[in-house]
Amino acid sequence: MPVIYDGLEFERLGHASVRIETDDRTVVYVDPWGEILEGDPADGDVVVVTYDDMDHYDAAAIEAVAGTDVTVAAYEAIDTDDLEADGIRVELF
């Protein structure tokens, strides 16, 4: 069940995965994980990855939620070469 607060809609997808949508339709995923995703939403504008364990960094799940011009913001210790090889822009923090 989504929670709406001040123009933001938060939906817990399961485990550490969260989908956030702004009132201007920007979609942010945090730690998408394939085990809990339903289908290939392909609507993410930004994907934030907080940790390098498989249940936080799941390249296939990131690609499934990635929209056309997605930016992935990933923790700097994560090896994101597989995403970059597929043409996904990655910014490390």
For the chain, what is the domain count?
1
Name the pTM for this structure.
0.93
Residue 66's CATH number: 3.60.15.10
Structural domain boundaries, residue 8? 3-92
User: pLDDT tens digits, residue range 15-64?
Assistant: 899 999 999 999 999 999 988 888 889 999 999 999 998 889 999 999 99
- The confidence score (pLDDT) of residue 54 equals 86
φ, ψ of residue 44 to 5 degrees: the values are: -75, 130
Type of residue numbered 22 = T
- The confidence score (pLDDT) of residue 90 equals 97
- The confidence score (pLDDT) of residue 1 equals 85
Please tell me what DSSP assigns to residue 64.
Answer: H
Judged by phi (left if over 0) then psi (alpha if -120 to 50, else beta), residue 87 lies in: left
Nearest to 19 by CA among 36, 44, 52, 38: 44
